[in-house]
C-alpha cells in the first residue's frame, strides 16, 4: 500500500499480497475466497446498522440495496467458494467498501480492500477474470453448477429458438420393452411426440425423420398412421393424442428414411400443435447378453429447441429385471449417432448433472405434468400390441432446456443367459 496527496491509504492493485503457486487451483481459490469472506464479514459487523434486512444496511451506507442484498446473502454461506460465487463483482464490492470506510475503521477497511485486490488478481491470473468464475467453480460446487448450467441452457434455448424460427414446450420419448413370443428377444415400441410446437417465423421449416431400418435389424411398423400421398406413405401419428384438426405434412424420401415436413406458415402461441407418434420393432433387442457384449440404449435428442425433454425406458418386469441403468450423454453435432457400443463415441461423451429416476411399476406411475395424456397414450399403444401396461416398470431422465445436438441415452446391460444348472452363459 501507498499514500496519496491527502495521506489516504491506496491499495496497490498490481501485486497481490499472497501467492499460493504450490497449491491446486481450487485450494488457491478457496483460500482467497475465505480471506475475502472473513474480511467482508468484519466490515458488515462494524457497520452500526441493523443487519437483518438489506435495505437497512443499504440505507446506512447510502447505496442501492441490490448490491448490499447480494453481499449479505453471500456471507451466509459456510463454503467460501460458494460465498464468492454469490457476491457482487469487484466493482460492487468497492462501492460497498468505499461507503463503509468512514464507519468501520482504517484497519478493517484496508484488510477488505486488500482481500478484494487479491481475489481479483487470482481470478485474472488463473482463470481469465471474474466473469468465468461460475464456470470454473461449478466443477467443485454441485449446486452452483446446476444454477450455472440452467442459466446458460435457457440462454441457448432462446437463441436457438430465434435462429431456427421454431420452438416447443416439451418433447418426449418412451421406449417400451416387452418379451417376444419366443422369450429370447425383446419387442420394442417407441412412443414419441412434441407438445406446443410452433413457428416463430413464417418461413421456418419443421421436419421429422422416420426411424431407419438397419441392414440386420427389424423394420419399424407404424401402430397407426395417416396417409400423406398417393404412394401410401404414412406418418405414424396417433390421432386422438394429437391436435385437432390434424396438422398437414409433406413427405420427402431418402434412401432408407422418410422425412415429414410440417405444412403452413402460421406463427405465435395460437398456432401451436401437439404431435404424438408410435411405432413398433419386433425382436428389436436380445433378452440376454450376446458375445461380444452389447449395451441396449434408449435415445432422446430434441428435434427443435424446447423447454423440456422427457426420456423414459419402460420395461416388462421380466426384461433385464436386475440390471441398473446408466445415463450417458453425447455431443452429436460432430458424431452423427450416439452409440454406447462404439469406442469412438467415448470422445464425444458429455459430463452431465442429470440423473435417472426410478418410477416404480404400473402405468399410473408414469404420469408427467408436461404431457397430459401420457398414461392414456401408453395404455393405448400397449393395448394395440396386446401388452399389459401394468407389468411395466419405468426409468426416467427429465432434462430442462435440453441442448439441440446433445443426445441423452438410458443404457442397460442385458444379463447372461441362464442355464438349466442355474449358472449363466452368454449367447453368441
Q: Indicate whether 130 and 196 sit together in one domain.
A: no
Per-residue pLDDT of the chain (428 residues; tens, 9 = 90+): 444 444 444 444 444 444 444 458 878 888 998 999 999 999 999 988 655 677 888 888 888 888 888 899 889 888 888 888 889 999 999 999 999 999 998 899 999 999 999 999 988 888 888 877 777 776 677 666 777 788 889 999 999 999 999 999 999 999 999 999 988 999 999 999 999 999 999 999 998 877 655 555 667 888 887 665 545 566 788 989 999 888 888 888 777 677 888 888 888 888 899 999 999 999 989 999 888 888 999 988 888 999 999 999 999 999 999 889 999 988 887 655 677 878 777 788 888 788 999 999 999 999 999 998 999 999 999 999 999 999 999 999 999 999 988 899 999 999 998 876 554 544 44
Asked if the structure places residue 272 within a domain, the reply is: yes
pTM: 0.70
Between β-strands 166-179 and 306-316, what pairing exists: parallel, antiparallel or unpaired? parallel
Q: Indicate whether 250 and 387 sit together in one domain.
A: yes
User: Read out DSSP for 374-389?
Assistant: HHHHHHHHHHHHT--G
> Which residues, other chains included, contact 91 with Cβ-Cβ below 8 Å and sequence gap of 6+?
none
Q: Indicate whether 135 and 281 sit together in one domain.
A: no
> Which three three-digit cell numbers place residue 305?
429447441
Asked if the structure places residue 31 within a domain, the reply is: yes
Q: Indicate whether 180 and 303 sit together in one domain.
A: yes
CA distances in angstroms from 426 to 284, 305, 342, listed in the order given: 18, 42, 20
Q: Indicate whether 298 and 189 sit together in one domain.
A: yes
Q: Indicate whether 199 and 58 sit together in one domain.
A: no
Domains held by the chain: number: 2
Q: Indicate whether 178 and 136 sit together in one domain.
A: no
Furthest-apart CA atoms within the chain: distance in Å? 95
Q: Indicate whether 285 and 206 sit together in one domain.
A: yes
Yes or no: say if 170 and 310 are a contact pair by the CB < 8 Å rule. Answer: yes
φ and ψ at residue 259, rounded to 5 degrees: -115, 125
Domain that holds residue 45: 2-140
The residue from 140, 156, 183 where one domain ends is: 140
Q: Indicate whether 48 and 96 sit together in one domain.
A: yes
Quick check: helix, strand or coil at residue 179?
A: strand
d(CA 284, CA 280): 9
CATH number, domain at 175?
2.60.40
The residue from 140, 157, 183 where one domain ends is: 140
Amino acid at each position: 500500500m501507498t499514500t496519496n496527496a491527502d495521506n489516504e491509504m491506496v491499495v496497490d492493485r498490481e501485486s497481490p499480497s499472497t501467492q499460493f503457486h504450490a497449491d491446486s487451483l481450487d485450494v488457491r481459490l478457496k483460500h482467497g475466497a475465505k480471506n475475502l469472506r472473513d474480511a467482508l464479514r468484519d466490515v458488515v459487523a462494524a457497520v452500526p446498522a441493523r443487519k437483518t434486512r438489506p435495505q437497512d444496511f443499504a440505507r446506512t451506507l447510502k447505496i442501492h440495496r441490490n448490491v448490499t442484498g447480494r453481499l449479505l446473502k453471500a456471507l451466509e454461506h459456510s463454503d467460501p467458494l460458494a460465498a464468492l460465487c454469490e457476491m457482487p463483482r469487484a466493482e460492487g464490492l468497492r462501492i460497498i467498501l468505499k461507503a463503509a470506510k468512514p464507519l468501520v475503521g482504517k484497519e478493517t477497511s484496508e484488510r477488505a480492500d486488500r482481500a478484494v485486490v487479491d481475489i481479483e488478481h487470482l481470478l485474472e491470473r488463473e482463470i481469465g477474470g471474474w466473469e468465468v468464475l461460475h464456470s470454473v467453480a461449478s466443477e467443485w460446487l454441485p449446486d452452483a453448477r446446476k444454477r450455472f448450467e440452467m442459466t446458460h441452457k435457457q440462454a441457448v434455448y432462446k437463441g436457438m429458438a430465434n435462429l431456427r424460427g421454431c420452438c416447443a414446450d416439451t418433447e418426449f420419448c418412451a421406449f417400451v420393452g416387452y418379451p417376444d413370443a419366443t422369450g429370447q428377444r425383446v419387442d420394442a415400441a417407441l412412443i414419441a411426440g412434441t407438445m406446443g410446437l410452433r413457428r416463430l417465423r413464417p418461413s421456418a421449416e419443421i421436419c421429422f425423420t422416420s426411424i431407419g431400418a438397419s441392414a440386420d435389424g427389424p423394420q419399424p411398423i407404424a401402430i397407426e398412421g395417416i396417409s400423406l400421398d398417393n404412394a401410401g406413405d404414412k406418418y405414424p401419428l396417433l390421432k386422438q393424442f394429437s391436435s385437432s384438426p390434424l396438422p398437414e405434412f409433406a413427405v420427402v424420401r431418402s434412401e432408407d428414411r422418410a422425412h415429414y415436413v410440417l405444412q403452413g406458415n402460421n406463427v405465435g402461441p395460437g398456432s401451436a400443435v401437439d404431435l404424438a407418434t408410435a411405432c413398433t420393432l419386433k425382436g428389436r433387442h436380445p433378452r440376454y447378453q450376446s458375445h461380444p457384449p452389447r449395451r441396449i440404449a434408449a435415445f432422446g435428442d430434441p428435434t427443435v429447441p424446447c423447454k423440456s425433454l422427457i426420456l423414459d425406458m419402460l420395461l416388462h418386469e421380466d426384461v433385464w429385471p436386475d440390471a441398473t441403468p446408466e445415463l450417458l450423454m453425447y455431443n452429436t453435432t460432430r458424431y452423427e449417432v450416439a452409440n454406447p457400443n462404439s469406442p469412438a463415441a467415448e470422445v464425444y461423451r458429455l459430463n452431465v448433472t442429470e440423473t435417472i429416476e426410478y418410477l416404480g411399476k404400473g402405468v399410473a406411475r408414469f404420469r408427467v405434468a408436461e404431457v397430459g395424456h401420457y398414461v392414456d397414450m401408453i395404455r393405448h399403444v400397449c393395448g394395440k400390441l396386446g401388452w399389459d401396461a401394468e407389468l411395466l416398470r419405468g426409468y426416467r431422465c427429465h432434462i430442462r432446456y435440453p441442448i439441440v445436438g446433445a443426445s441423452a441415452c438410458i443404457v442397460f446391460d442385458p444379463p447372461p443367459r441362464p442355464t438349466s444348472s442355474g449358472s449363466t452363459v452368454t449367447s453368441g
